[in-house]
Amino acid sequence: MPTKKIAVILAGSGVYDGSEIHEATLALLYLSEQGVKIQCFAPNIEQTHVINHLTQKESPETRNVLVESARIARGNVKDVKELTADDFDGLIIPGGFGAAKNLSNFAFKGSDCTVNDDVLTAAKSFAKAEKPIGLICIAPHLAPKIYGRGVICTIGNDENTAAELEKMGAVHQSCDVSNIVEDKANKLISTPAYMLGKNISEVAVGIKKLVTRLIQLTNT
């Protein structure tokens, strides 16, 4: 059987202004354990802003999302403009505020958000090809933009965030940190991770289930 190829879209490096590092690393670990070939991608754009992760205050500097994502990917990251479902069997997008600040502006605009054109084009190519997508933590806010109204997903149980997703046309299902929600019609899997989890061991359970299910769905 040919080796499965999974794409991972990153949004920088660090929970407050990029990809959540635990979530991204766990996803990469569990993909590697499944023996798949992994390729990371990120948009080649400036971050919305830079947060000092020690003080949690905004820092007066600029950083590039692709360059910062290379920290997590150990340099093996490509511009998301190069990503198409033709070359891969599935897609995973970890959370972190960068998913809602750099991949989109959901952190600032909520249900009125827009998504980076290159990220949306890449993700939609997987949906059109009926290839599975896994969205972690806050990343499920992208689901209604990718699939349209009626898509089923979870960000855990935060009522305000869930309400914003539902305004966008998603059907939100509450879910605990150790579980996943699957939209079978769309081959979409989501898990709350740090939207609910208090530590890395808690979020690891749901992320492992998401990766395992996504790999299973590449065979259907």
Domain ranges of the chain: 5-217
**pTM surpassing 0.95?**
yes
Q: What is the pLDDT of residue 62?
A: 93
Given 40, 113, 137, 175, which residue is catalytic? Answer: 137
> Any catalytic annotation for residue 153?
no
Q: Tokens in use for 122?
A: 């890449």
Specify the CATH superfamily of domain 5-217. Class I glutamine amidotransferase (GATase) domain (3.40.50.880)
Q: What is the pLDDT of residue 193?
A: 97
In whole angstroms, how large is the CA radius of gyration of the chain?
16
Which residues 6+ apart lie within 8 Å of 132 measured at CB?
Answer: 89, 90, 91, 126, 187, 188, 189, 213, 214, 217, 218
Per the CB < 8 A criterion, the answer to whether 116 and 139 are in contact is no
Q: What is the pLDDT of residue 1?
A: 62
Work out the end-to-end distance of the chain between its first and last CA atoms, rounded to an integer number of angstroms.
14
Burial class (CB in 10 A: 0-12, 13-18, 19+), 44: middle
Mean pLDDT of each 10-residue bin along the chain, 220 residues long: 91 96 98 96 96 93 96 97 97 97 96 97 98 98 97 96 96 97 98 97 98 94
Ramachandran angles phi, psi of 202, nearest 5°: -70, -45
Per the CB < 8 A criterion, the answer to whether 135 and 143 are in contact is yes
Q: Tokens in use for 14?
A: 């660090």
| Cα 70 from chain centre | 16
Q: What is the pLDDT of residue 219?
A: 86
Burial class (CB in 10 A: 0-12, 13-18, 19+), 179: middle
